A = this chain, B = another copy of it.
Amino acid sequence: MASNDDKQKCSSLVHVHNPHLDNMKDDILYHFNLGTSSHNLPAMFGDVKFVCVGGSPWRMKAFIEYVAGVLGLEDPKSEYPNICAGTDRYAMYKIGPVLSVSHGMGIPSISIMLHELIKLLHHARCTDVVIIRIGTSGGIGLEAGTVVVTKQSVDSNFLPKFEQVILGRTVVRSTDLDQTLAEELLRCSEELNRFDTVIGNTMCTMDFYEGQARLDGAFCAYTEKDKQDYLAKASEAGVCNIEMESSVFAAMCKLSGVRAAVVCVTLLDRLKGDQLNVPHEVLNSYQQRPQILVSRFIQKQLSTSAKSLLH
């Protein structure tokens, strides 16, 4: 019979739901250029507690450098090698218990990464993992630079669901995120007091232009009024911002039993425009905000764990 400790450890593992994996001699995580035969995944990743993911490889490298500084874990040579250097599909960096992984743009791109990340954390027998997406988004009625912690990820009709096609049939999955984690993140931002942060719904779309009611794509058959009406309806449904990955991220993290949150900065107010025409320095400073917030959260969590170990 399993002891209570064993049971607790089991429930805090990262779960895969695939009986076929047990019969595989080797598991090649192709898009990471890693594998269970070629790499000692428990040795490389067994201590991971915080996984931060974001679209841009450059941003995920900047994040690992920043969080290393906050946690006092800087490499004196400032070298943070890309663990996935053998491929250009994704970039991955690690410092102490923090893993930083890029996922490209859009649901399919993050979904490939998450399948392989969940298997990686499972093979490495990681426990008590928290996964946070730190991204960029368009805001609705918020000043540019506001950070949104996602309450619920909703689709283009403002419903909290993700449709996964399996063998040609559509399976509907829940996009619930961890509410306690979202509130903890909001609290961290209040303590920091460096920029505005709100909790609200995030709309996840399949496309940046027509899918987000932009007027500046190659194709656009609707008017400014149609756009404003659609964004007003979204706002009424509690949507604070729009991005392109949160729904499948929420659905897959929930299925694998991992606490997950989405923290995105708004780069512009979509009620006022569509083009990203502020200077790059300003956009870059906005993009640092989710990194600052999440680094503070990690620092706080680690300090709490350290204190509980001392008592």
User: Chain A interface (Cβ within 8 Å of chain B)?
Assistant: 16-21, 24, 26-28, 30, 55-58, 86, 88-89, 104-109, 111-112, 114-116, 118-119, 122, 156-158, 164-168, 205-211, 213, 215-222, 224, 226-227, 230, 233, 244, 252, 255-256, 275-277, 280
A-B contact pairs, 18 of them (CB 8 A): A19-B220, A20-B220, A24-B216, A26-B275, A56-B88, A58-B88, A105-B109, A107-B206, A108-B206, A109-B109, A111-B206, A111-B207, A111-B209, A114-B218, A119-B217, A156-B165, A156-B168, A167-B226
> Are B207 and A16 interface neighbours, CB within 8 A?
no
Q: How many copies of this chain sit in the oligomeric assembly?
A: 2
Taking the closest CB of chain B, its distance from the CB of A50, in whole angstroms, is 19
User: Complex formed: what's the CA distance from A108 to B112 in Å?
Assistant: 13
> Are B164 and A210 interface neighbours, CB within 8 A?
yes
Which listed residue, B166, B205, B218, touches A252 by the CB 8 Å rule?
B218
> Are B21 and A216 interface neighbours, CB within 8 A?
yes
> Are A167 and B213 interface neighbours, CB within 8 A?
yes
Q: With A158-B168, A166-B211 given, can you name 20 additional A-B contacts, CB distance below 8 Å? A: A18-B217, A18-B220, A19-B220, A20-B220, A24-B275, A27-B275, A30-B275, A89-B105, A104-B104, A104-B106, A105-B112, A106-B106, A106-B112, A112-B208, A115-B208, A115-B209, A115-B219, A164-B207, A165-B207, A167-B226
Taking the closest CB of chain B, its distance from the CB of A101, in whole angstroms, is 14
Taking the closest CB of chain B, its distance from the CB of A265, in whole angstroms, is 15
> Are A115 and B217 interface neighbours, CB within 8 A?
yes
CB-defined contacts of A165 to chain B, threshold 8 Å = 156, 205-207, 210-211
